[in-house]
Structure 1
Amino acid sequence: MRGRVRLLRAWLAALLAVGLPGAGIASRPASAASSSEASYGLRLWQTDDGLPRNSVQAVAQDADGFLWVGTQRGLVRFDGVRFVPVAAQGDFHEALARHPVRALQVTRDGHLLVALDGGGLWQRRAAGAFVRLALAADPEAAFVRTVLETRDGTMWAGTAAGLFRRTAAGWRRIRMHDGGRPSVFAIGTDGADRVWVGLQAGLARVAEDGESLQIVVGSAAHGPVTSVAEDPAGRLWAASRDGLLRVDRAGEVPRVIAVGPRERVRLLHVGADGQVWLGTDTGIRQLRDDERWVTPTGLAGVEAIALALGEDREQNLWVGTNAGLYRVRAGQFRTVATADGLPRGVALAVREDRAGAMWVGTWGGGLVRLGEGAPRTFSTADGLPDARVFALLEDRRGTLWAGTDAGLARLDAGRVRLVPAPGTPAPLRVRLVAEDRVGTLWVGTMQGLFRRDEDRLVPVPLPGVAPGTPVRAVVEDRRRRLWVCAGESVFRADDRERRQVRRLHAVGSTIHAAWLDHRDVLWLGTAAGLVRIDDTGAFAFTPAHGLAIEEVVALAGDDADRLWLSTKRGLVRTSRSGLDAVASGRGAPLVLATYGARDGMLSTEGTSEASPGAWRRGNGELWFATTRGVVVVPPSTGEPARVPPPIVLEEVLVDGRAVAVAGEVRIPPGSRTLEVRYTAPSFAAPEKVRFRHRLDDFAPTWADAGDRRVATYTNVPPGRYTFQVMARNEEGVWSESPAGLRVAVAPRFVQTPLFAGLCLLGLAGAAWGTYAVRMRQMLARLRAVKAERNRMAREIHDTLLQGVAGIGFQLEAARHRLHRDPDGAAQVLDRVSAHVDSCLGDARRSVRNMRSAWLDGQPLAAALAESGRLLATGKVHLEVHEHDWPAALERDLEDQIFRVAQQAIANAISHANASRIDVTLIGAPRALRVAVADDGCGMAEAAGGDDRPRFGFIGMRERARQLAARLHVDSTPGRGTRVELIVPLGLAGRVRRAWHRRHPAIEPAATRMGA
């Protein structure tokens, strides 16, 4: 091996000594980009943008489109807009905090491998957890520098302790033929699926048995091989400290290509387009087919140490450096500038001649012809009246006309001649030269409109236009009508002699340029935007239509029916059919594609006051004049992007709390806010990605979210929904299919069918209850009326009738004594009079349901004795006995007992012909006993023997029932009657109150009684 190294050193020394072409060319500085070279756009992200550290050492893109970025102190996920730190936990969190990320690899099954320099190899599982992969017990095996998965799925890891291959049994170390353990820096494969390894000692290859390493090139003199890759031509490239090793085929002596004496090659990358890139200590370089290393146009700003190179699906090159993360994107356009032959940077007018050469009028640099061979410049030394060329025209005879600030010049056969303009006080400041179908030349100047007549310029007046109004456009349509644009006005001459020029429209802002399409629709670029004119009138597009641009200075149409606008802020492309639809009032807002510096424009500012400022070549290219050269748009520009933006649902929050996104998202009852966060990893133009979303059955129409990456819904009713979101890239291409999320909003109990059913049952029950209550109230009222009737009947029977009966007895007694004892009869009549007053009082009290007058001022026993003696009139002996009777009772209870006993006494006097009546009142702790016994004739039945109503007996039973008392009637014909009332003291009051609640008092009603 040492001999091979000495041979390589000697070969390299000889190569550099004789100055072979490869070495000499490589040592020259990079040349400027020619008109055929692509330019590149740069963008830089640093810690202020969300990176954990500016030193980016690894990049990789996963299956969802996210870019994973590893730094010296952290790992983040990038979607083009936001850097999201990895939520590391446990051992991986500690390892990530102590060790830098050295390499990243996404496996075929979607797992992310993270190689930490000193922290081992880790695998990110689907759930986001990180698991360490144990390579070996050797501590140096924790210094993982590179990791690779080959096409057959085999995993390889390069460490300071050697090369490891993953097998079914675990990780297996691959040793050198001599048994050594080399320090590995890089792993790569070739087209034959052979594994190449960059070592400290050179470039090696895994043997066919897969168990050992074979040194192919020893490069100890150049330092370690830090990167290995194969280009589409089958050439294997290996980067080392001093340059590259190229291996054309196995066994060939490698050829060494030196980059330069001051640059160290750290990395190389072969892009999907076959382009070979180098990362050095001073930036990035590109390998050309002639084996020259150049710094492409636009990449001179990368002045940092390249630490990582990678490429995404959109063919953006990512460069990790010690100064941050760079995105390198090939511009869709190229710019023809001073390096390509323009004498000055500011281009004014562009036009193609019939030979296919392009003519460019410049500001101060004259006129230049770009065609086969070297550029040809015409200046004032060649006869141009001024070096500022604002207008160009090639007429039907092939003569080139150039308008300058000092007049109109004619180029014919290489000679330049000035066209005279007699009668003008100063040289004409020409801004436009046009030719109609009959060959008449029209010249628009800052002083007005002129027509060429026999090699002289004749002024053409425009009605209503002030002198000195600049003329910016003259075009002829298919009907041979001549359109003239001056200031803010549009004129048209319909006659073939062009003698009648009339004003048609005033667009409200200065007209910069005009373009007529094949349908005779005139498009105007103005200081306020875009105006469309056809036979129906003029239509000005506004930001409400989706065209939020100003200062349109040039227009051109391409072969795909699209309109290109050159503005002061870049190029804008949109569909002409979309513009037509908006102008007719039936179209949706316009979809615009905007282009700027990232697409290869050295300047985004288009130049005005020149014609034509835009030109479509015969090969389909579009040329636009800018303040830094001419921007060339290839015919394929604007084709739909190959990679539509993928949609990823990141997080779901319910009332601010994160919930799991996997499967169906279940939202608990009572939640108010549903928030879905999503993104679309896209890196070509992430700031131009637009979104739309909807929630089926709640917000079923697509809602335009703009660039917002969150959807918020409030007060979503219970049910099952599907959330859908789509993304659109900068070219207007939507995602192939929406990303969906099933959402189930759980109802509160009051929102469930069970609750609704219970409510229906409750309503039915309430209705039935209301009906039942109403019926019970009606029934209670009827019962109350009946009870009142019965009460009145009882009261009349117990008071008024008995009183009247007593009066009758007394009057009968007075009649018998009237002749024989007038004084006694008078006393009887006095008692009758007093009794009449008492009866009247009882009648009034009965109507008012008040207490009997007998009980006023005397106990129950005395009241019974007095009322009984009044009824007896001396014929019946009445005695009242009292045993332990309470001194005071409830008034209602005492009144009811009095009425029952009084009725029993009255029955004995009136119906039993009794001569003796005994009333016994017995008090006890639990009950009261009232007994009325007589020695009369008795009754056949306890309730009476005939069918006539016996209101006295009925009243006694009803009063007993009200008192919850027991009424016993014991009667034997010929042996008297005993009536006993037993009133339980503990229950009587409660029952009586309950009875009164069921039978509320009502107004007294008239009661009709039978005889």
Structure 2
Amino acid sequence: MNNLRIPLLIPAMCFWFCCFVSSVWAVDPGRHISQYGHTAWRVQDGFLNAGVYTITQTVDGYMWIGTQNGLVRFDGVRFVPWVLPAGQHLPSSIITSLLGARDGSLWIGTTSGLSHWVNHNLMNVDLPGVVTQILEDRNGTIWFNSRGDGALHGPLCQIVATGFRCYGKAEGIPAYASVLAEDSQGNLWIGGASEVVRWTAESHSVYTTRGLRSSEGQSGVTSLVASPDGSIWAGMSFAGPDPKLQQLVRGAWKAFQAPRFEGATLPISALFLDRQGSLWIGVYSQGIYRVHGENVDHFRSADGLSDDFVQHFYEDREGNLWVGSDKGIDLFHDVPVATFAPHQALDVSEVDSVLTSRDGTVWVGSDSALEGLHGDQVSLIRTGKGLPGNQVTSLFEDHAGRLWVGIDETLSICTNGKFFQIRRDGGGPVGWVYAIAEDADRNIWAETLNKGTKSLLRIRNFRVVEELPAPQTPAARSIAPDPQGGIWLGLLNGDLARVRRGRTETFHFEHKQDSRVEQVTANPDGSVLGATEFGLIGWKEGKRQNLATNNGLPCDWVHAFVPDDHGALWLYMQCGLVEISGAEMEKWWKQPDGPVQVRVFDVFDGVRPGRSSPFAAAGRSADGRMWFGHGAVLQVIDPAHLASNPFPPPVHVEELVADRKAYSPIDGLQIPALTRELEIDYTALSFVVPQKVRFRYKLEGHDAEWQEPGTRRQAFYNDLAPGRYRFRVIACNNDGIWNEDGATLNLSVAPAWFQTNWVRALCVAFVLCTTWVFYRLRTRQIASAISARFDERLSERTRMARELHDTFLQTIQGSKFVVDDGLEDPLDAVKMHHALGQVSAWLEQAIEEGRAALNSLRSSTILKNDLGPALKRAAESGVVPDGMTISVSVIGDARELHPIVRDELYRIGREAIQNAKAHSHGSSLEIDLTYGQDLALHIRDNGVGIDPDYAMNGREGHFGLRGMRERAARIGARLTILNSAESGTDILVVVAGNVSFTHPDTGMFSRLRSLYRRAARHRDPS
């Protein structure tokens, strides 16, 4: 509700300082009311639910509107009915008067008493009766009028401490006093039933006037205004023909009379004196009159006012004028671009041509008149009343100050209100004149249309001396003199042409479609500019270029353009009025495709762009103002006197909505846990053009940069984690003046129980411990399983060694004994024969026993790190099929292997090699042994492959493949057999590194080195 950062006293001081400074920032009294920016919010449109009685602005910048049905707060965009905290209430819902005090509080007058809203608390003054007006004097004292039971209190009361003191008839207060004013001397002026009283606590003076009378119980004076010169304006509502607006000057009443003040005898409902000294008058059922000096202007519901019954006037700190009526509220503010239209200081029904003459007159041609505007003077020549025709198609002033006018199918010179027609040879009219120009040789050129034929005429000494018909000379829409001689033509097809010394040269431009050049201008530096539907075209030293939306213009269609006195170019476009500085134009000439910085005036600045006029309509008057006409209106801007809004807007955070529940923006607000959607509503209080107020916001703790929502007044978040945040929002007014302090709000999002830090710490610790435990258990499980297998194998070896010792070796030893016995008597043939027979039998037995032992347990074929060479020897030993090439590669650094792993992997590899040599019928056999993070053996051939059934189940009576799988399972290896009749057999055996290596090395260096060597081998197979 409040700016949560700045103490209340500071904005109060700033507010009143701004009010003092803004004495020059107010609605311009030199304009008609209809030329101000005007916005109306009507009850019938749903903006308000009742008529408006009173308006005020508080120090925080909010506008407060008192209605017949409650109090409403307004920020320029949203009307918000004021809702009091629980347990507090106003004496009545009918608000009759309001005052935004200098201390930031709000005084509220109702039909049943007075209330004071301060520091979010409402204090009711125990005073029955209708409070008609509240005033704060220069000393900060609060005064108010009250109509009630006169026996209980007087009609004028003063706030004293927490109570009040009233003054009545005994102190010189008139009966039924209902209006107050303070003059420059500090005197109070009080309007009563039949007099006006100047009053102080020490003395008072009574002033009556003839005709001032009222019905019993009613005030005859409805409004009082004190002028800086000491005079008092009084508005009255009594019956009768006497003037209702009177001025008290030096003690004497003077009725105000003016020719255009038709409401002189009508009852007056409200008076107001603005900062420029203009007197605003609300007249019952007649709308608004404004008096400035002797000039009177009138504005009513027929002109757009919300209602003709005006109840109240108010001027805010930015100089905007507010009008409260019985059916709504109106806002008037100055705009940079003023409009002259029918019934808005313009007496013609349309604007077809515009000329700004050297004597300061602005000539406007229409379909029925020629109007001249010169200051406050207006001259009008109508059809049938001096104008020889209807349509004024073109206007031009020559070097001698003569006015050339194209009227219907004629061209005339206007002198002292008389028209002299220019004719062709033979006496005929020249035709419809679309453009006129004068070259350096004082020739007058006119582009005409006569009986369907376009022609360019050269006029000398008021005679047509040359005619250049189309297509001999291209059909043109506009003409401009060339400072170097000749003329430039803006053609109907969007191109430019130059006519010089009887020669015509055409310059073509690239564009999407034909579009006439509505205006052309040749500058002293030799450059030429043209206004077209596809942008501003330019020609300079043979170079053609186009300025359009791709350069930064808000749209493409340029109707007309005018340079100002400072070198800037002003473009009157389809979407607004655009200013381009001289420096930016120079940059564009040098960089045709580069961006151009522009200033845009749009509808909020008073521009009324629209359809293009069929005739040229632009010019700059002698005072530097620029005039543009199109269709129905004439518009003017004064670049040298563009007032800007100097007041940065107060910024407020208004409300937070968390998961569709609203919260007041209290500093330190805590949002509930698990909030999914957060909306922060904010506003900035600038009422000149609220639609142009722009914002930036940042949620510190979430946003790294300022967010740019434009004119949006809400910030949305749906991903806020628990924690503390600081929301900052700043804003600028319609002229880009930023309030860098803005508003701030500290808030926090509460964590759910599972989002607290201690729960998170416990969860992290639990996950780490669980992971570590599972890892240790799994490692132990694998190590135990492999150790058990190794122990089993070692036990088996021990058993087989024992059996060999007990069988095979014993048999050999016994055979030795028999041989030794036979050798003792070598001549005994019978004994020798018997011994040899026994040895033969025993040797046969030994062979069987040895074969059995070897089949069950063979000694280790390799030692330590000799696995690679052993596989190579196994591949090259025995019979190698003719035509088969064998390659053996060791990738990575050889490392010491566990003996069991070494033996089993060798046997798996040897079996695969023998199978490939015997059965693959291939031409190549590749063997790769890779030492990496794991140990991998890869054997592949390009032969006929293995029968799928054999690959899955093995061949009956043979145990090669089955043995390979069993050996791989014993050491925990992964065996993969890929088989294809086209690509042969591919066998891969992978053993985990922590099982294979006696000292595992899983470092990144080893893996990278292995990959490098593999890549090198593929690049160079040799």
Q: TM-score normalised to the size of structure 1?
A: 0.63
What CA deviation, in whole Å up to 9, does each residue of 1:588-625 have, x standing for no partner?
A: 886522247x94x8x865762223x1111121112223
Taking the aligned partners of 1:340 and 1:325, their CA distance within structure 2 comes to 22
1:593 pairs with 594, 601, 606, which one?
Answer: 601
Is the CA contact 2:282–2:289 (under 8 Å) kept in the aligned structure 1? Answer: no
Question: How far off its partner does 1:343 sit?
Answer: 7.1
In the other structure, the counterpart of 1:610 is 615
1:239 pairs with 235, 246, 250, which one?
Answer: 235
Please list, as runs of the form range in 1=range in 2, the aligned pairs for 1:914-929 lying within 5 A after superposition: none
Taking the aligned partners of 1:47 and 1:759, their CA distance within structure 2 comes to 61
Taking the aligned partners of 2:114 and 2:729, their CA distance within structure 1 comes to 36
In the other structure, the counterpart of 1:345 is 349
What CA deviation, in whole Å up to 9, does each residue of 1:336-384 have, x standing for no partner?
A: 6788997743232222333333333332325758589773749788795
Taking the aligned partners of 2:367 and 2:553, their CA distance within structure 1 comes to 34
1:106 pairs with 92, 95, 100, which one?
Answer: 100
Question: How far off its partner does 1:317 sit?
Answer: 2.2
Please list, as runs of the form range in 1=range in 2, the aligned pairs for 1:146-161 lying within 5 A after superposition: 146-160=133-147, 161=153
Taking the aligned partners of 1:560 and 1:226, their CA distance within structure 2 comes to 50
Amino acid at match of 2:57: Q
Question: How far off its partner does 1:189 sit?
Answer: 0.8
In the other structure, the counterpart of 1:541 is 548
Question: How far off its partner does 1:117 sit?
Answer: 0.6
1:44 to 1:517, Cα distance in 2 relative to 1, 3 A? farther
The CA RMSD over aligned residues, in Å, is 4.6
Question: How far off its partner does 1:88 sit?
Answer: 2.9
1:648 pairs with 646, 652, 662, which one?
Answer: 652
Question: How far off its partner does 1:688 sit?
Answer: 4.0
Taking the aligned partners of 1:580 and 1:49, their CA distance within structure 2 comes to 50
Taking the aligned partners of 1:651 and 1:715, their CA distance within structure 2 comes to 19
1:76 to 1:503, Cα distance in 2 relative to 1, 3 A? same
Taking the aligned partners of 2:543 and 2:762, their CA distance within structure 1 comes to 66
Question: How far off its partner does 1:164 sit?
Answer: 1.7
In the other structure, the counterpart of 2:75 is 79
Taking the aligned partners of 1:482 and 1:46, their CA distance within structure 2 comes to 55
Which of the pair has more CA radius of gyration?
1
SS in 2 for 1:500: strand
Structure 1 residue 143 corresponds to structure 2 residue 149: no
SS in 2 for 1:60: strand
What CA deviation, in whole Å up to 9, does each residue of 1:283-342 have, x standing for no partner?
A: 344453567865259985545322222122232222222222222345655566788997
Please list, as runs of the form range in 1=range in 2, the aligned pairs for 1:89-104 lying within 5 A after superposition: 89-90=85-86, 92-93=88-89, 95-96=91-92, 99-104=93-98
In the other structure, the counterpart of 1:134 is 126
Structure 1 residue 432 corresponds to structure 2 residue 446: no
Taking the aligned partners of 1:89 and 1:750, their CA distance within structure 2 comes to 36
2:559 pairs with 550, 553, 560, which one?
Answer: 553
Question: How far off its partner does 1:159 sit?
Answer: 0.9
SS in 2 for 1:390: strand
1:787 to 1:555, Cα distance in 2 relative to 1, 3 A? closer
1:723 to 1:643, Cα distance in 2 relative to 1, 3 A? same
Is the CA contact 1:488–1:506 (under 8 Å) kept in the aligned structure 2? Answer: no
In the other structure, the counterpart of 1:390 is 393
What CA deviation, in whole Å up to 9, does each residue of 1:667-704 have, x standing for no partner?
A: 44433333222223333333344444444564445554
Amino acid at match of 1:315: G
Taking the aligned partners of 1:586 and 1:753, their CA distance within structure 2 comes to 54
What CA deviation, in whole Å up to 9, does each residue of 1:924-955 have, x standing for no partner?
A: xxxxxxxxxxxxxxxxxxxxxxxxxxxxxxxx
Question: How far off its partner does 1:558 sit?
Answer: 3.0
What CA deviation, in whole Å up to 9, does each residue of 1:509-534 have, x standing for no partner?
A: 34333456777665544346655666
How many aligned residue pairs are there? 741
1:308 to 1:549, Cα distance in 2 relative to 1, 3 A? farther
Please list, as runs of the form range in 1=range in 2, the aligned pairs for 1:515-914 lying within 5 A after superposition: 515=521, 523-527=529-533, 537-539=544-546, 541-542=548-549, 545=552, 547-548=554-555, 552-559=558-565, 563-566=569-572, 587=595, 592-595=600-603, 599=606, 608-611=613-616, 613-628=617-632, 630-636=634-640, 638-695=642-699, 698-717=702-721, 721-735=725-739, 737-745=741-749, 761-762=765-766, 764-766=768-770, 768-774=772-778, 776-777=780-781
Taking the aligned partners of 2:570 and 2:596, their CA distance within structure 1 comes to 19
Taking the aligned partners of 2:481 and 2:295, their CA distance within structure 1 comes to 51
Taking the aligned partners of 1:616 and 1:642, their CA distance within structure 2 comes to 28
Taking the aligned partners of 2:237 and 2:356, their CA distance within structure 1 comes to 49
Amino acid at match of 2:440: R
What CA deviation, in whole Å up to 9, does each residue of 1:470-490 have, x standing for no partner?
A: 522233566769542212321
Is the CA contact 2:651–2:685 (under 8 Å) kept in the aligned structure 1? Answer: yes
Taking the aligned partners of 1:37 and 1:143, their CA distance within structure 2 comes to 33
In the other structure, the counterpart of 1:842 is none
Taking the aligned partners of 1:301 and 1:340, their CA distance within structure 2 comes to 12
Taking the aligned partners of 1:735 and 1:584, their CA distance within structure 2 comes to 37
Is the CA contact 1:231–1:276 (under 8 Å) kept in the aligned structure 2? Answer: no
Is the CA contact 2:371–2:381 (under 8 Å) kept in the aligned structure 1? Answer: yes
1:698 to 1:169, Cα distance in 2 relative to 1, 3 A? closer
Instruction: Pick which of 422-431 and 219-228 moved more.
Output: 422-431
1:585 to 1:506, Cα distance in 2 relative to 1, 3 A? closer
Please list, as runs of the form range in 1=range in 2, the aligned pairs for 1:860-1009 lying within 5 A after superposition: none
Taking the aligned partners of 2:178 and 2:376, their CA distance within structure 1 comes to 49
Question: How far off its partner does 1:104 sit?
Answer: 0.7
Is the CA contact 1:448–1:459 (under 8 Å) kept in the aligned structure 2? Answer: no
SS in 1 for 2:495: strand
Question: How far off its partner does 1:77 sit?
Answer: 1.1
In the other structure, the counterpart of 1:977 is none
Unaligned runs of 5+ in 2: 1-28, 148-152, 239-243, 800-1022
1:590 to 1:414, Cα distance in 2 relative to 1, 3 A? closer
Is the CA contact 1:593–1:731 (under 8 Å) kept in the aligned structure 2? Answer: no
Is the CA contact 1:570–1:594 (under 8 Å) kept in the aligned structure 2? Answer: yes
What CA deviation, in whole Å up to 9, does each residue of 1:531-555 have, x standing for no partner?
A: 56667643353499562475x4332
What CA deviation, in whole Å up to 9, does each residue of 1:121-160 have, x standing for no partner?
A: 1122333x4331334xxxxx34222212222111112211
1:779 to 1:568, Cα distance in 2 relative to 1, 3 A? closer
1:717 to 1:404, Cα distance in 2 relative to 1, 3 A? farther
1:370 to 1:189, Cα distance in 2 relative to 1, 3 A? closer
Please list, as runs of the form range in 1=range in 2, the aligned pairs for 1:232-271 lying within 5 A after superposition: 232-242=228-238, 243-249=244-250, 252-257=251-256, 263-271=266-274
What CA deviation, in whole Å up to 9, does each residue of 1:240-283 have, x standing for no partner?
A: 2242453334xx24445588575212221111211111222123
Question: How far off its partner does 1:725 sit?
Answer: 3.8
In the other structure, the counterpart of 2:39 is 43
Is the CA contact 1:41–1:298 (under 8 Å) kept in the aligned structure 2? Answer: no
Question: How far off its partner does 1:630 sit?
Answer: 3.6
Is the CA contact 2:624–2:638 (under 8 Å) kept in the aligned structure 1? Answer: yes
1:294 to 1:764, Cα distance in 2 relative to 1, 3 A? closer
Amino acid at match of 1:46: R
In the other structure, the counterpart of 1:490 is 495
Is the CA contact 1:667–1:746 (under 8 Å) kept in the aligned structure 2? Answer: yes
Taking the aligned partners of 1:179 and 1:636, their CA distance within structure 2 comes to 53
1:413 to 1:327, Cα distance in 2 relative to 1, 3 A? closer
Question: How far off its partner does 1:190 sit?
Answer: 0.9
SS in 1 for 2:144: strand
1:456 pairs with 461, 464, 474, which one?
Answer: 464
SS in 2 for 1:773: helix
Amino acid at match of 1:686: P
1:739 to 1:542, Cα distance in 2 relative to 1, 3 A? farther
In the other structure, the counterpart of 2:332 is 328
Structure 1 residue 283 corresponds to structure 2 residue 286: yes
Is the CA contact 1:638–1:731 (under 8 Å) kept in the aligned structure 2? Answer: no
Is the CA contact 1:434–1:442 (under 8 Å) kept in the aligned structure 2? Answer: yes
Unaligned runs of 5+ in 1: 1-32, 136-140, 796-1011
